[in-house]
Structure 1
Amino acid sequence: MPPVKKILFFVPCTPYFPSGIVRVEQFFNLLEKDGYAYELLNMIHPRSQMLLERLDRSAWGKQKITDFVIRVAIHLVFLPYQYLQMLKVAAQANKFDIIFIQSNLMPAPIVDFIQRKNPRIIYDFDDAVFLRNQARAIHIISKAWKVFAGSHYNLDFARRHNPASILIPSAVDLAEYPPLTANPERSDPIRIGWIGGASTLKYLRHLVAPLENLARKGYHLQFLITGSRGSEKLIPRVEGVELKVIEEYTHAEIPSLADKMDIGVMPLDDGPWEKGKCGLKLLIYMAAGKPCLSSPVGENQIIIRDGENGFLASSAQEWEQQLEALISNPDLYQRIARQGRKTVEEHYSVMKVYEMIRAELVDA
């Protein structure tokens, strides 16, 4: 019997950073079945994230000066913990077959020390982290044994610094989403849904005019917003449209939230950070059998084949037209819903993506 291979996963901070769940934890059962052992380390102390979330909801967090001062204080108090965690990885590196670093950017000397003890470093990133600290990103990518990029935009950057870079898309566990009914039905009012967080509420401004125009045409709509996390002041008001806000949710609640929607939306700005996103919202909507619309930015243009498994909208007029088409045409609604689900089944399910990951682990 071959010896068990051990992997050390070093993630930002689960469950506060969903990438640790989506890119790492949801594959643990499959890794165990294939005979891998693993350990998980957070870089950031969970208590620091808990305090930051409390700040977001507090009166102090609503004032720019106090918000800034308290955030800096929290960061400084917990910064030593981050370095201790990095050093812990370095100290244990030679005890594992693979060191899997998810998104974390570390000082070059620490990366070099880890690599000397264990050259089999996999660096995985699903956001354009190189925009935050390009020097650190380039260094860890160039030193990695392999690089897993979550989007084509991120992959292009990674390949400039490491030819052993491949695309590993984010995945959705279809076991958590019930199979589609023969004819997916819509509710009344029609629920236009969005799943996100406080930092991405700003993108919802792209939907205000389209939704208001549809309401003026007599469509009965509800705008379902999940993930505001105490930032309700950033939520746009849409005249004539019922607003329902769910402030917080856990990863386990995402399938049930998506099931409450009729149409899923993912508006984005067309900027460098947005181009690095992996389109996970779209995959969630598709897995739940909900037709989706998105801005034609980054990986969204890869996931969505416009008019086939979803729609791309680059202007307020296009958002309005595509939403109206889905609302007014039941056959189109059902066709797009089925094709979206099929897209996830064929390309973005946990099993499909795990097969890609497993192929990269075999020669460790």
Structure 2
Amino acid sequence: MHRKKILFLLPYPLHKAPSQRFRVENLLFLLDGKFEYELSTFLSEDDWKILYQPGHHVQKALGIARGFLRRAALVLFGSFRYDYIFIHREAAPLGPPVFEYILARILRKKYIFDFDDAIWIPNTSAQNKIASRLKCFWKIRPICRWAHRVSAGNDFLVNYAEHSGRKTPATRIPTVVNTETRYNRIKQHQEGRVVVGWTGSHSTLKFLEPLMPVIQRLQKECDIDFLVIADKKPDLPLSDWQFCPWNEQTEIEDLLKIDVGVMPLVHDAWSEGKCGFKLIQYLSLGIPAVANSVGVNKLIVEDGINGFLADDDDRWYLSLKQLITDASLRKRMGESGRAKMVAGYSISSQSEAFLGLFS
């Protein structure tokens, strides 16, 4: 029997970016025996290594150019071999949606568009300030409109896609973890020194800044450590804290060092587009969390059940102190969070929706 073929157009090298890992790479096993598929990444390993480093302008430009050439050759001369094209975030990081237009309007290919951030809103950092001028943020609307299917990580993103002029509904598929394999361990909460922790990428480190006065206050009153797991070491105004470089191989062990997870955000449209993945990671491992009540955080965190929602310094302080000083509360909330993640934010809970995109 002929199996349909899928081409995945991915922005990053494999095993590097959380969004791509958890929304695409970790779901591929669901296709085994049902579809044939191939992966194509825009950036090479070498290009990725220098992408967020200062300088290297010529090398970065050459890397982007090589990515465009590879993608153009594949779209123009290779896409005919596939029944579906799956595009995560965008077919190319810069410029207008040329490849999406060619696939949908000229070659009449069915492409599935998947995104988990409000990527139509400029979010410029010092590292990408120049490139952001070439991003063409407006292109996300037509990409959604032309797509055969759209997979979005939360209702805010689904609503954006459905107001793009497309004729069929978008599918809400939250970012998920495999609670049966990698995320099958549960934090054992005990008395003693407590670790408050945060995990994320360099682009979201800025959200830690407003939380620092609260952590400073808590460190004067409680026996706590503050742990940051990231791909870049921040400069924090704390006397006692630890940095753990993110590593895929030790990811679970590092997360399990955390007793209370935090996810600070600001109340704006860009934060509304976030899919709460930090919270999903914490709760899946039985770690209670404290987060701002913005966007999907309000759906993931049930205030007082599996964590707390906090929007000012006093609320952050009281919520964290309650969890820091009560191991039984951490255990109870962690168990509740774990159950919720298994029910709605695990691969098994979303496998049918994912496979339904290829129809």
| TM-score of the aligned structures, taking structure 2 as reference length | 0.88
Corresponding residue for residue 165 of structure 1: 170
Aligned residue type for 1:123: F
Partner of 2:247: 249
Please say if residues 112 and 357 of structure 2, whose CA atoms lie closer than 8 Å, have aligned partners that are also in contact. Answer: no
Q: Deviations over 1:94-128 (max 9, x none)?
A: 21111000001543343222123243110000111
| Paired position in structure 1 for 2:45 | 46
Counterpart of 1:103 in structure 2 is: 89
For residues 311-337 of structure 1, give each alpha carbon's deviation from its aligned partner in whole angstroms, at most 9, with x where no partner exists: 111111111111111122333222210
State whether residues 105 and 140 of structure 1, in contact with CA within 8 Å, keep that contact through their aligned partners in structure 2.
no
CA distance in 2, matches of 1:258, 1:180: 11
Q: Are positions 1:76 and 2:61 aligned together?
A: yes
Deviation at 1:273, TM superposition (A): 2.0
Aligned to 1:91: 77
1:334 aligns to 2:324 (yes or no): no
Structure 2 CA distance for aligned equivalents of residues 147 and 71 of structure 1: 35
Aligned AA (1:177): Y
Tell me the CA shift for residue 32 of structure 1.
0.3
Asked if 1:324 is matched to 2:327, the reply is no
Q: Is the 8 A contact 1:222 1:243 kept in 2?
A: yes
Taking the aligned partners of 1:265 and 1:326, their CA distance within structure 2 comes to 12
Q: Distance in 2 between matches of 1:210 and 1:147?
A: 40
State the one-letter code of the partner of 2:35. Y
Whether the 8 Å CA contact 1:191–1:263 is kept in 2: the answer is: yes
Q: Which moved more, 1:73-82 or 1:254-263?
A: 73-82
Look up the match of 2:197: 193
What's the counterpart of residue 129 of structure 2?
A: none
Aligned-residue identity in percent = 27
Q: Distance in 2 between matches of 1:179 and 1:199?
A: 28
**Corresponding letter in the other structure for 1:127:** D
* TM-score, length-scaled by structure 1: 0.87
Cα distance in 2 for residues equivalent to 1:358 and 1:155: 18
Runs of 4 or more consecutive aligned structure 1 residues displaced over 4 Å after TM superposition: none
1:221-274 CA-partner distances (Å, limit 9, x unpaired):
000111152xx4x432224xx211113322x43211111111111111222222
Letter in 1 for 2:243: V
1:31-51 deviation per Cα after TM superposition (whole angstroms, max 9, x unaligned): 104x21110000123211112
User: Is the partner of 1:38 in helix, strand or coil?
Assistant: strand
Is residue 26 from structure 1 mapped to residue 26 from structure 2 by the alignment? Answer: yes
Distance in 1 between residues matched to 2:154 and 2:219, nearest whole Å: 35
Pick closer, same or farther for the CA change 1:213–1:356 going to 2, 3 Å. same
1:137 corresponds, among 137, 140, 156, to 140
Tell me the amino acid that sits aligned with residue 248 of structure 1: W
What is aligned with 2:218?
214
Task: Say which SS state the counterpart of residue 241 (structure 2) adopts.
Answer: strand
- List gaps (5 residues or longer) in structure 2: 123-135
Q: How does 1:251-266 map to 2 (within 5 A)?
A: 252-266=249-263
Give the Cα separation in 1 of the matches to 2:6 and 2:17. Answer: 20
Partner Cα distance (2:43, 2:25) in 1: 16
- Seen in structure 2, the aligned counterparts of structure 1 residues 51 and 80 have a Cα distance that, compared at 3 Å, is same
Three-state SS of the structure 2 residue aligned to 1:131 is: coil
Aligned to 1:178: 184
- Aligned AA (1:276): G
CA, structure 1 residues 187+194, in 2 after alignment: closer, same or farther (shift >3 Å)?
Answer: farther
For 2:138 and 2:80, the matched residues in 1 are separated by: 26
Q: Which residue of 1 aligns with 2:2?
A: 3
Deviation at 1:166, TM superposition (A): 1.5
Using the TM superposition, give the Cα deviation of residue 298 of structure 1 relative to its aligned residue in structure 2, in angstroms. Answer: 1.6
Q: Which moved more, 1:256-265 or 1:90-99?
A: 90-99
More helix, by proportion: 1
Identify if the C-alpha distance between structure 1 residues 74 and 152 changes in structure 2 by more than 3 Å, giving closer, same or farther: farther
Corresponding position of 1:151: 154
Q: Aligned match of 2:109 in 115, 119, 128?
A: 119
Q: 1:315 aligns with which of 312, 326, 329?
A: 312
Equivalents in 2 of 1:320, 1:343: separation in Å? Answer: 25
CA contact (8 A) 2:178 2:184 kept: no
Contact (CA 8 Å) 2:50, 2:56: kept in 1 or not?
Answer: no
What number of residue pairs does the alignment pair up?
Answer: 337
Q: Confirm or deny: 8 A CA contact 2:51 2:60 kept in the other structure.
A: no
User: Measured at CA, do residues 30 and 220 of structure 1 come closer, stay the same or move farther in structure 2, by a change above 3 Å?
Assistant: same
Q: What residue in structure 1 maps to residue 237 of structure 2?
A: 237
Change (3 A) 1:112 1:262: same
